[in-house]
Structures are given as C-alpha cells and as structure tokens.
Amino acid sequence: MRTLQLLFRASHAALLLVLCLQLGTNTAQEDTPSRRPIIMDFQMPYVTRSTEEVTAKLTVRTELTECMVIKTYLVSSKPTDGSFNYKYSGCLCDDYPRTFYWDFQFNSTVRMAAVVDIIPQLGICPNDEAVVPIRANRFSYLRTLFVL
C-alpha cells in the first residue's frame, strides 16, 4: 500500500513537471519573430525629363518557407501606354526572389504604386504547393516621379 502512495505522488509531480514544460514551450514559440510574406524593393529615379524613358525595377522576396503565387503590376495617377500596363504572375519562394521591369515615359509628374497580390492560382508553382496568407494578400509601395 505504501508503494502505491509513492507511485501516485510521483505521478502528480510528473504531471506538474509536464505542465510547466508545456507552458514554457508555448511562451518560447510566441517570442519568435513572425516571418514577412512579402518584402518589396521598388527602384526608379526620383526625377526625369519628359523626353527620357524611365525603367522601374521591382524585386520581390519572402521569408516564408512555403511558395506562393504572386501577381504584380504598377498603378499610376495618370494613364500611359506600353509595357507599363502589363501584369506579371509568377511563383515566389524563399530561395528564389523575383525581379520585374517596366519601361515608360511621362510628360508630367506622376505618383506610382508597385502592387503585389498573392493569389490562389494553380499551375504556376511546382506541384501546386502554393499558400495564401490569411491576413494580408495585397502589398504596395508608393513613389513619386518628378518630370522636368
């Protein structure tokens, strides 16, 4: 009978130890920084002349370990023609950043936004193993191009 009482006391101590370890593990997981789904680097000149053609370069990368399908495009405050209006879709993975280029010409100052949408589309990423984040699916970067 005495051995049974020791056995039950040990199990309570073991349960308390497991509970403490579980609580410690949960708080350790919360302290890790969250990974950013989209990181954008939008480059273009700040100033140009109305006769010059400008190249905009957008580099997109992710800190997620899963791949995702992205659609990227530019939006401007003034209409323009040419490759500026094209939308690009591609697979974005953590080990393969994507770079997109647009060439255009404006006659007056314009505000432009580079936009990246994360979309659920099959057939773009290998094995259709793409994820879509729950919180944010659209990211943008706003710039102004001053035309002299």
Give me the DSSP letters along the chain. Answer: -HHHHHHHHHHHHHHHHHHHHHHHHHHHHHTSPPPPS-EEEEE--SEE-TTS-EEEEEEEE---SSBEEEEEEEEESS---SGGG--EEEEEBTTB-EEEEEEE--SS-EEEEEEEEEE--TTSSGGG-B---SS--EEEEEEEEEE-
Q: What pLDDT shows up at residue 137?
A: 87
Could you read off the pLDDT of 54-86 as tens digits, one per residue?
A: 999 999 999 988 889 999 999 888 877 655 667
Superfamily designation of domain 39-147: Immunoglobulins (2.60.40.10)
Q: What pLDDT shows up at residue 16?
A: 52
Domain parsing of the chain, residue ranges: 39-147
Indicate the pTM of the whole model. 0.72
Q: How confident is the model at residue 3 (pLDDT cuts 50, 70, 90)?
A: low
